[in-house]
Amino acid sequence: MKDVYNASSWLVDRNLEEGNGERTAIRTNDEVISYSALQKSIYRVQNALKELDTRREERVALVLNDEPAFPAWFLGCMRSGVVPIPLSTMLTGNDLGEIINDSLARVVVVSAQYARHLPEIAKAAKHLKYGVVVGSESSDADLEVSNWYEFQDSAEAPVADTNKDSPAFWLYSSGTTGFPKGTIHRHFNLEATATTYAKTVLNVTKDDVFFSAAKLFFAFGLGNSLTFPFSVGGSVILDSAWATPRGVAETASKMKPTLFFGSPGLLASILDAGVPSDSFSSVRLAVTAGEALPGEINKHFSSQFGFPVLDGIGSTEALHIFLSNRPDDVRYGTSGRPVEGYKLMLLDDENREIADADVPGYLHVSGESTAVGYWCRTDATKNAFRGEWLRTGDVYVRSEDGYYQFLGRNNDMIKLGGIWVSPAEVEGVLVEHPDVLEAAVVGGYNDDGLETSVAFIVPKAGKAIDEASVEAHCRARMASFKRPRTIVFVTELPKTATGKIQRYQLREQIANR
């Protein structure tokens, strides 16, 4: 028999045992929630699960904004040994229904504003029986719908006798193509991200106030706004509204976070929006992830606001960041060095380990926080989970002194004149042009059937750029074989829910030209 271990107890009950009950766990625009109040809301969820006749290891789908109901349901499910599945709040009702159907969930919990999706969800999700709405109960869906606020408090509820390896929660990985994959994480994986990245890179303490523009339903946001603050008895600012540059700056100046998390694109648009320069005066450190942070944006942002910005790479499968810059050691334009507790390796096309520096290879990571596999997707599981190693799908290169630089996703790499060209590298140069806001470079084929490259460029607000100026800019800064062969100006780039550029859409645009 394995020792009992429950992630929800580790994150919350432990804080009460250590005397943190009256400390603030969660702060919203109009509420302050202590650790003991958080624990009570968890008991209430456990009670609700019982009323809904939910059993161990059944899945419960969550379509929740960043509001107190999210941690209550996520942690309440796990405390009962039930498996929560946070889903993207940006999906349509039908998309949500198909994913919930794949998961076989019987219960879905939604924020009031998503109750309108319930009829479509119910149509696609055949096993679904109950809907719970945060703050309402009206719905035309073919479901038994109840209002979360009307469930009874319960004095206490038992902790399920889970262990470190028990299934804890799933996250659907948002691949840029194909149906999303249910990524199964075990109870210990949350603690594994807190004691590695959060502790050794961010040096988190109970005095930290966390604020993440990336929402809780992403693995990135889940660590930033739930695992990390609760792992040390710190507090988190939750904002149910979608992040905008001005909104984020206002919240930061009002609520005084010490740690700020966002995407590279958000940092770029904060710089572009010209927010007051004291907006982030309480922040000691910022983190970006999701895609590579161009060195130029990092330089501007950290010098304008006066704290380091750490670019780090994580994934849904690894749960959080495993390769990162450090507060006292930022190398612009790189993902930094391996996080303590993780091993990395680069493999070549024949799966041989690359020992030499400066040779590109496929990045693999090994650590305690990686998922168990994908739900009902044997081929995809075999491809990504290889013994202790997780194949990330990224091409990286390591410098002589141990810093890793992102070159592109496996199949985003472009071959021009037979030579590999990294789209990330070319994009990094393009965004250094003073009038360029964003750029994406993808491969295509010319009339001769040879591979060529096209740069899609979004100009900064109110700026018109001419092609010649971009060409001159590139000519001065990169080897000629890397220069984009064609330039197209666009008003925006197609992106996934997690903010990643959908390169396949751009490739299709080229093919249709």
Give residues in contact with ligand 3UK (CB under 6 A): 173-174, 219-220, 289-292, 311-316, 320-321, 335, 392-394, 406, 409, 498
Token pair belonging to 66: 């960043």
Nearer to ligand 3UK, 256 or 409 (CB): 409
128 vs 125: CA distance, rounded Å: 6
136 vs 146: CA distance, rounded Å: 7
Cβ of residue 311: shortest distance to ligand 3UK, in angstroms? 5
Nearer to ligand 3UK, 281 or 383 (CB): 383
Q: Collapsing DSSP states into helix, strand and coil, what is residue 432?
A: coil
The residue at minimum Cβ distance from ligand 3UK is: 314
Cβ of residue 337: shortest distance to ligand 3UK, in angstroms? 13
Do the Cβ atoms of 216 and 225 come closer than 8 Å? Answer: yes
310 vs 331: CA distance, rounded Å: 9
124 vs 102: CA distance, rounded Å: 10
Q: Collapsing DSSP states into helix, strand and coil, what is residue 224?
A: helix
Rounded to 5 degrees, φ, ψ at 220 are -60, -50
Q: Which of 224, 219, 188, 196 is nearest to 208 (CA)?
A: 224
Cβ of residue 294: shortest distance to ligand 3UK, in angstroms? 10
Rounded to 5 degrees, φ, ψ at 287 are -130, 135
**Which helix (DSSP H) or strand (DSSP E) does residue 476 occupy?**
helix 467-477
Q: Which of 368, 3, 388 is nearest to 195 (CA)?
A: 368
β-pair partners for 391: 364
115 vs 388: CA distance, rounded Å: 41
Cβ of residue 448: shortest distance to ligand 3UK, in angstroms? 31
Cβ of residue 62: shortest distance to ligand 3UK, in angstroms? 17
Nearer to ligand 3UK, 23 or 409 (CB): 409
Nearer to ligand 3UK, 45 or 267 (CB): 267
Nearer to ligand 3UK, 75 or 313 (CB): 313
Nearer to ligand 3UK, 71 or 131 (CB): 71
Cβ of residue 19: shortest distance to ligand 3UK, in angstroms? 31
Nearer to ligand 3UK, 48 or 85 (CB): 85
Cβ of residue 76: shortest distance to ligand 3UK, in angstroms? 23
